[in-house]
A and B are shown apart, each in its own frame.
Chain A
Amino acid sequence: MGKKETRVRMSLQTLRVLEAFLENPTEQLAGAEVHQRCGIASGTLYPILLRLESAGWFVSQWESIDPSSAGRPRRRLYRLTSTGLRHASEVFASFNRGVLA
């Protein structure tokens, strides 16, 4: 088991996804909610979520509900990990230093 690669190519869409999670780092978001917040199309959104998950920035789990009682299927929820939070903060900090500061 090699060391996990945590680098992620930063595209504008990836930054927008991270920004949506950084608003409340402990919050779990489904893909549909991320789409509502960022407006990123599903064709771009889900590959990004999978990349960040594979890099260890996100973890995902199924929603713990009973679909029959809730009347809807369970959703996949994504959450920032501590590693992801640190890296995302560094990314935005570097952007602030380089562009905005």
Chain B
Amino acid sequence: MSQRNERSKHAALNSATHWLIHQAARRAPETLSSRLEEEWLADVESRSTALSGLRFAVGCCWASLVIVSEYPRSRVPAASPVAAASPVAAASAVAPASGYFSLADRNFRYFSLRSATLFLIAGLHAALFYGLITTLSHTPRIAAPPHLQNQPVAPVPRTKDLPPVPGTDLKDWTIHVPKPVIDVPKKMDIDVDVPGELSDKPNEVIPEPRLPPITPSHVVQRLAGGPGAGFPETADFYPSHSIRLAEEGISTVQVCVDRRGRLTSEPTTLKGSGIERLDEAALKLARAGSGHYRATSEDGQPVNSCYAFGVRFQLRK
């Protein structure tokens, strides 16, 4: 049973092989068609297995395509019936065919048909791969905001009138303010002591003393300055000799600072610590802090000012 199956399979493959070779030969140029079919049918007999023969037939299909592309139809010589009948005569008839000359010419193409096809397929794959890569690696860009433009806003139609607020629907109203009642004594005895002598001249005009104009009083909100952000650390200016001798103290330094926190003059020691090294170190610290002072502000506006602050040199216990 299995042998019959094998045999039928073998026969099917053989028939497919012969059919393919026949089709391939039919595609070949007319003058070569019969020759190639006979040649390929003879060569396929040498194949050991039916599958190998089938593969051979598929190759023949490709070979016929290549031959057709290289063989110009305009130069196909007429097939000789004598050549087909006599093997020896056929050999001499086909060999010098002028159509082969062009076949030789086409051999100088840079790529063969198969190579060109392979390159084309490889190129298509590369293009597809590149497209996929660039698509996948695409990062969404943030859209630039549109230019700001003044656009008229359409009036919003009032869809519903709001209910009146209770108590506000007074059309005619009057405010009655009671008249203040002031009890004024009808007669007052006032004793006035006038220094000096009164002038005897009647209706003498006494000039009134001129008073300075009264200006409305204004309290300036003044916020004193001091060391600000980025001001150097005191520890960085602690004299090493003082550290060894455990010298401590507070040196009060006076500085004049502009609106941008920079020194406008040389800082001076307002009250020394009693140790000259510490006072010198405090002055160095004050100089180094130029640009990092917080300016004094008046009503929120920084102004040039001079102020004092204490620099404490104290060792950690």
Contact = CB atoms under 8 A, between A and B. Distances in A.
B63 A44 contact: yes
A50 B42 contact: no
A61 B98 CA distance: 17
A11 B40 CA distance: 23
* Interface-central residue, B47, B91, B98, by most chain A CB under 10 Å: B91
A51 B39 contact: no
B112 A11 contact: yes
Contacts of B44: 32
Which bracket fits the contact residues of A? 35 or more
Interface in B93-107: 94-95, 97-101, 103-105, 107
B42 A54 contact: no
* Interface-central residue, A31, A33, A63, A74, by most chain B CB under 10 Å: A31
B59 interface: yes
B107 A43 contact: no
Interface stretch (A1-9, A16-24, A90-98): A1-9
A59 interface: yes
A10 B189 CA distance: 146
Which bracket fits the contact residues of B? 35 or more
B87 A73 contact: no
A54 B35 CA distance: 15
Nearest to A11: B112
* Interface-central residue, A64, A72, A76, by most chain B CB under 10 Å: A76
Nearest to B90: A62
Given A42-B56, A43-B60, A47-B67, A75 B42 contact: yes
A55 B104 contact: yes
B38 A73 contact: yes
Contacts of A9: 107-109, 112
* Interface-central residue, A2, A43, A55, by most chain B CB under 10 Å: A43
B256 interface: no
Given A47-B63, A51-B104, A61 B88 contact: yes
A50 B94 contact: no
B107 A62 contact: no
B104 A76 contact: no
A62 B104 contact: no
B58 interface: yes
Given A43-B60, A51-B103, A62-B87, A74 B95 contact: no
B95 A53 contact: yes
B137 to A, nearest CB: 38
A13 to B, nearest CB: 9
Interface of A: 1-2, 4-9, 11, 30-33, 35-36, 41-47, 50-51, 53-55, 59-64, 72-76
16 contacts: A5-B104, A32-B42, A32-B44, A32-B46, A32-B47, A42-B43, A43-B59, A43-B62, A43-B66, A47-B66, A54-B104, A55-B103, A63-B42, A73-B45, A74-B87, A75-B39
